[in-house]
Structure 1
Amino acid sequence: MSPAPPTSATYDSASASAALHAALLATAPVVTAGAPDLGRAVFVGSGDSLASGLIATGFGHRAVSAGDVAWSEALPAACDTLVGISHSGTSGATVKALRMARTAGLKTVAITSQAASPLADSADEVQLVPTLQVEEIVPCAGHVMLAQGVAAVCGVDTSSFNEALAQSLDRVRTTIDAQVRALPDTAPVAMSVLSLPELCSGADFWVLKLIEACGLAVRGVPLEESGHVDYFIGPEQHLALQLMGPHGRPRFDRLAEALRTTGQTVRQVDVRDLIDPDMRDADILRDIATAVAGTWFAHGAALRWGRPPFRGGAVNMDARHIKLDS
């Protein structure tokens, strides 16, 4: 078993913010010579990479688990281009899916930080993303860059994104510090993360990081579907986290009131102002900043509840089971 990432008894959000801020400003931006003609594209990845791929849904494309393609041995219907996302370029299901698509004559694109990787070798075109050099316990750096890579492939000029995200971090930290302080003293049995599609990537990332950091069952659910299903959760202690962007505020409020009547704990997390709404591509930047917020919230929650990230080193972190089979 390889060693787990280090844990700490307290979470220093100021230091985490400063480190990520410095890394963003020291890292070259994600650039592309020109977005490829994607046609009807499907973006595939696993875990954090799939969360990054959800950025593409805002452009009318689809994002699905690479494993759904690879292990069912069936390419998505009505797909002209398959885009594989993997920071290391060695995620087994993603590489297999891209190879399947290439063999079938589809256009293939890789988004990765490694030009010399099996994923890059399996693609007609490669969108490289730089690596953020920052030490993390609960990681978000890979997603921050891969999400930009997805936006770039979709035709967005991401050259100013690192600076814009760096400028958002003080607001992210202020928001999350307040949320962590307001959490219950003891861990819930499970959690739900509620959102609208404008935060689909960031919300998915919250689910992933809460599972990693806290070792609890967490699910993501569309806002309205929560009103039809979560109302019946109980009587065990359940925490509902509402990620609220610019839209749907009255519905969030009404649902929060209803869930509280059934004994649930509801925390409303306002991410509307993490990014200046007048900034170019504010919606995409807000989604990425929301993901960073989820990482810091998950780490803070885990330590508040005495659940050190990655179950205190009990989890095998070599991830051999998801890498490309040699």
Structure 2
Amino acid sequence: MQHTEPTGTAQLSAALKAALLATPPVVGGAVPDLGRAVFTGSGDSLASALVATAHGHRALSAGDLTWSETMPAGCDTVVGISHSGTSGATVRALRLAGAAGLKTVAITSQPSSPLAESADSVHLVPTLELAETVPCAGHVMLAQGVAAVCGVDTAPVGSALAGVLDGVRDLVTAQLDALPADAPAAISVLALPELRSGADFWVLKLIEACGLAARNVPLEESGHVDYFIGPQEHLTLQLIGLLGRPRFDRLAQALRSTGQRVQQIDLSGPATTDGPAGPLVRDLAAAVAGTWFADGAARRWGRPPFRGGAVNMDASHIKLDI
């Protein structure tokens, strides 16, 4: 993956659309007798794992399995997710699962990686060739791999996602224009399960790009506690899909009554497409929107991504070392 200086949302949108249309689709991959599966990964890959929850499976951080050295109760299969196939906790989790006699599956773009070598079966996803500063390419492909393993026909997803990007770009541009001039102390991202994977990705990208504390909050849990937040400046972002709009509106009103800033990001229009893969396209569009929003917010607030090089980016602390 290449890294370049940040560009505007229009350029990001055009580059992603071109990359999606030039990349082979994610096809096949449904695993026979998957049973009760746990999909596991770290960081962006954990956001991809959350896609499986829409199909009756569980998603857990790879560290939950690896560092507790315990397999989840009632689990038949462990699916490890890593674009590079070298994320240490994920590789170890798959090895532990295999040693415990569970079926193991790898979702990766690297067929010769330690993750692939540790799995009973491997589902490969194409690499989305995209120059980006705040990355989303890996998640866009891995999330499709997760859905494919769960039995979703993902062949049309890439082109369908490309088809909604113009609307998503315009939505993000408007939301960036609505941001406060100065960065808040922290950010909450609210969503219902239909956009939970996308919301998790928003949090990751806001942290990477802006260096701010951010969290992913189930909609109703925010309603129970978030009106106590203050007096520091706090930004609440509501990711709205096809469900629950009245509850989003009522909660926004309650939070604003305590002096909080709320932005409603309605993905029910620009990110909606027909067909069985529509929910996945909407969730991926939400994730892409979060990447562009985080990139634009960082520039608006003068907070260069990854703290402008102040953070060691070799990622050695999360890579496989044995």
TM-score (norm 2): 0.98
Aligned equivalent of 1:270: 266
Instruction: Give how far 1:7 is off.
Output: 3.6
In the aligned structure 1, how far is the partner of 2:76 from the partner of 2:180? 48
1:305 to 2:301 alignment: yes
Aligned equivalent of 2:251: 255
Aligned equivalent of 2:172: 176
Q: Which runs of 5 or more residues in structure 2 are unaligned? A: none
The residue identity in structure 2 corresponding to 1:82 is: V
1:196 to 2:184 alignment: no
The residue identity in structure 2 corresponding to 1:143 is: H
In the aligned structure 2, how far is the partner of 1:185 from the partner of 1:80? 50
The residue identity in structure 2 corresponding to 1:110 is: A
1:285 to 2:281 alignment: yes
Aligned equivalent of 2:63: 67
Any conservation in 1 of the 2:30–2:150 contact (CA below 8 Å)? no
Aligned equivalent of 2:158: 162
Aligned equivalent of 1:117: 113
- Quote the RMSD (CA, aligned, Å): 1.2
Instruction: Give how far 1:284 is off.
Output: 1.2
In the aligned structure 2, how far is the partner of 1:274 from the partner of 1:103? 46
Instruction: Give how far 1:36 is off.
Output: 2.8
Aligned equivalent of 2:238: 242
The residue identity in structure 1 corresponding to 2:54 is: G
The residue identity in structure 2 corresponding to 1:291 is: A
Identity of aligned residues (%): 71
Instruction: Give how far 1:277 is off.
Output: 4.3
Q: 1:34 to 1:53 in 2, by over 3 A?
A: closer
Aligned equivalent of 2:81: 85
In the aligned structure 2, how far is the partner of 1:225 from the partner of 1:17? 33
Aligned equivalent of 1:138: 134
* Other structure's SS at 1:290 match: helix
Any conservation in 1 of the 2:29–2:148 contact (CA below 8 Å)? no
Query: What is the count of residue pairs matched by the alignment?
Result: 321
* Other structure's SS at 1:322 match: coil
Instruction: Give how far 1:33 is off.
Output: 5.2
Any conservation in 2 of the 1:52–1:150 contact (CA below 8 Å)? yes
TM-score (norm 1): 0.96
Any conservation in 2 of the 1:46–1:94 contact (CA below 8 Å)? yes
In the aligned structure 1, how far is the partner of 2:60 from the partner of 2:270? 27
In the aligned structure 2, how far is the partner of 1:157 from the partner of 1:100? 30
Instruction: Give how far 1:248 is off.
Output: 0.7
In the aligned structure 2, how far is the partner of 1:208 from the partner of 1:14? 22
Equivalent residue for 1:20, pick from 16, 19, 27: 16
Instruction: Give how far 1:280 is off.
Output: 2.8
Any conservation in 1 of the 2:272–2:281 contact (CA below 8 Å)? no
In the aligned structure 2, how far is the partner of 1:298 from the partner of 1:78? 38
In the aligned structure 2, how far is the partner of 1:39 from the partner of 1:170? 39
* Other structure's SS at 1:325 match: coil
Any conservation in 2 of the 1:7–1:309 contact (CA below 8 Å)? no
Aligned equivalent of 2:310: 314
Q: Which runs of 5 or more residues in structure 1 are unaligned? A: none
Runs of 4+ in 1 over 4 A off after TM superposition: none
Instruction: Give how far 1:261 is off.
Output: 1.1
In the aligned structure 1, how far is the partner of 2:294 from the partner of 2:30? 36
1:170-228 alpha-carbon deviations (Å, 9 max, x no partner):
01100000000110000000010000001010000000000000000001111011011
